[in-house]
Amino acid sequence: MGRTTTPVTNGKLKIQMNGNNFKSAVCQKNGYDNKLQINGRANGTGPPSGKRLFQGQESFEQAPMYVAVMTYLGFGLVTLFGYFRDFLRAVGLEKCHIAKERDEQKDFVPLYQDFENFYTRNLYMRVRDNWNRPICSLPGPVFDVMERVSPDYNWTFRLTGKTIPNVINMGSYNYLGFAENNVDFLKTVAERVQQYGLGVCSTRQEMGNLGIHQELEELVAEFLGVESAMVLGMGFATNSTNIPALVGKGCLILSDELNHTSLILGARLSGATIRVFKHNNMQSLERVLRDAVCSGQPHTHRPWKKIMIMVEGIYSMEGSVVCLPDIVALKKKYKAYLYLDEAHSIGAVGPTGRGVTELFGLDPSDVDVLMGTFTKSFGAAGGYIAGKKELVDYLRSHSHSAVYASAMSPPVTEQILRAMRCIMGLDGTTIGQTRVHRLAENTRYFRSRLQEMGFIIYGNDDSPVIPLLLYMPGKVVAFSRAMLRRKVGVVVVGFPATPITEARARFCLSAAHTKEMLDKVLFDLNEVGDELCLKFSQRKYTSRPKEQHHNNNDLNKDFKQDSL
């Protein structure tokens, strides 16, 4: 079913059904539908300029006080009932589903303390059905979810054999829509499987260094505008195993408080001293930098061997964009190094998809270590480290992942090559740039509509990661279940992954989302938001001007030319 939007009235978005547009869009779920218009933006018109993107605002609106009070009260009640249920289990009035130590091991030191599982046992298990849902199709703009039921309140699940088809995918990191199975697009990937097989079965330094690995590294360096690059088979390991090779004892890491776990793990494994600064707060960063330069190492007050600032391009849980120009200025002022994780920003932002350095119009050489992954915008797996040739050559022989990990799978390598060539236009088409432009338009459109409806959302105007604040634990699970009933797949996140008062749903926009899909999601969000009283925003947003839709026939003609 398709929807069209009408102007906002009294802060609420009105969306009406007018035909079978959505049904026709769903038919393209197993590939990238390049025939439908996205938000009235025709091929080649492009996203806002770099300067406009630089000026994108970030929103972190605070909820009313009563929302915080109700959130704490909700957690308090659930905790009290948890203690009560533990008492019932202890006296045998409630069946205990928890794994226990065997009787013959009762004199051993326990592997884990029972109280450590209190949260999992009494809170998470009650809402476990909202996570780990089994998917039985590719993670495109829509997917199929395997239906499951639980006879024991989420302790175990049983698949029914049925599926929930055509669920709109609002949670996967498929930013540019390259998670697809279009036969024409994937022809070269299939050829690589026939040529090399699926696995290399060796490290790059032994018998696993293929020509396509070197070809990919050269293309990544060209794409980023740097001297050299090194690719690895796992994005998480790109951070956790390369950071210890760059810094160690006697070095200082300045880490944004919202950095990803892979950055935190790599910093801890390095043995370097870690100091945290407030998220995107330049005053906090400069204060820590100044103190580090003036005071030096603790006790000895010797100068630090290295000072490295670690930040992300787009923060995956907040949707905010790093203040890169200011950080580069501070890095130069205090002679520090800068490590930039672009897992969620490479391919997703910038006029041509080259990440936050392009977004802000900066020279990539201003960043000492450029890191990114291929698991999001490129629809593949793995990660890269890029920068000066001396840096990359050093890591090839000192990074644990470069020396010991198995080389990247050949079909995965080819998938990254074909996606990156598409973005760069080296395949002779403008399809890649059209996808970058569509993602920018989808992001602006979806964010503005959510704000008009009265939801509190976090992040930068141009970030495709859009957190929608739900706050109360009961509403988090009710929201997820209500959206799935409407065939919309969402990701909900709560404590301890977020602050206790900031549980949220996280939407990830994709260039593969059609306007009809987004309008259906907005229609359902408007309904669920009213049913569950989730519209906490106290700000007033004016309605967007009526969109100027381009001629669909002209758009289809452009795409036919791209496909030739």
Tokens of residue 461, six digits: 């105007």
Range with lowest mean pLDDT among 83-97, 137-151, 220-234: 83-97
The three-state secondary structure class of 324 is helix
Tokens of residue 402, six digits: 């470069």
Q: Is 83 in the same domain as 144?
A: yes
Give the residue from 424, 456, 481 where a domain finishes: 424
Q: Is 247 in the same domain as 367?
A: yes
Task: Name the maximum alpha-carbon separation found in the chain.
Answer: 77
Is 81 domain-assigned?
Answer: yes
Specify the pTM: 0.85
Q: Is 479 in the same domain as 387?
A: no
Band of the pLDDT at 507, cuts 50, 70, 90? Answer: very high
Tokens of residue 123, six digits: 């809170």
Q: Is the peptide bond before 496 cis (omega within 30 degrees of 0)?
A: yes
Provide mean pLDDT across the span 148-160.
91
Give the residue from 408, 424, 440 where a domain finishes: 424
Q: Is 157 in the same domain as 217?
A: no
Whether residue 430 is predicted with pLDDT greater than 60 in this model: the reply is yes
Provide mean pLDDT across the span 535-564.
52
Whether residue 354 is predicted with pLDDT greater than 90 in this model: the reply is yes
Positive or negative torsion for Cα 141, 133, 320, 418: negative
Provide mean pLDDT across the span 373-391.
96
Is 477 domain-assigned?
Answer: yes
Range with lowest mean pLDDT among 45-54, 483-492, 494-503: 45-54
Q: Is 285 in the same domain as 391?
A: yes
Q: Is 198 in the same domain as 248?
A: yes
Give the residue from 382, 402, 424 where a domain finishes: 424
| Unique residue bearing structure tokens 């079913």 | 1
Q: What percent of the chain has pLDDT over 70?
A: 85
Distances in whole angstroms, Cα of residue 354 to Cα of each of 266, 368, 382: 25, 16, 17
Whether residue 46 is predicted with pLDDT greater than 80 in this model: the reply is no
Q: What percent of the chain has pLDDT over 90?
A: 69
pLDDT in tens, 225-243: 999 999 999 999 999 999 9
Q: Is 308 in the same domain as 335?
A: yes
Label the pairing between strands 228-232 and 252-256. unpaired
Q: Is 415 in the same domain as 435?
A: no
Band of the pLDDT at 544, cuts 50, 70, 90? Answer: low
Tokens of residue 110, six digits: 């326990």
Provide mean pLDDT across the span 101-120.
76
Q: Is 416 in the same domain as 447?
A: no
Is 85 domain-assigned?
Answer: yes
Q: Is 238 in the same domain as 280?
A: yes
Is 498 domain-assigned?
Answer: yes
Tokens of residue 80, six digits: 């009290």
Q: In this structure, what CATH number is given to the domain that contains residue 104?
A: 3.90.1150.10
Q: In this structure, what CATH number is given to the domain that contains residue 341?
A: 3.40.640.10
Q: Is 417 in the same domain as 436?
A: no
Residue 366 belongs to what domain range? Answer: 183-424
Q: Is 402 in the same domain as 350?
A: yes
Is 224 domain-assigned?
Answer: yes
Provide mean pLDDT across the span 479-495.
94
Question: Taking all residues of the chain, what is their mean pLDDT, rounded to a whole number?
Answer: 85
Name the domain count of the chain.
2
Is 175 domain-assigned?
Answer: no
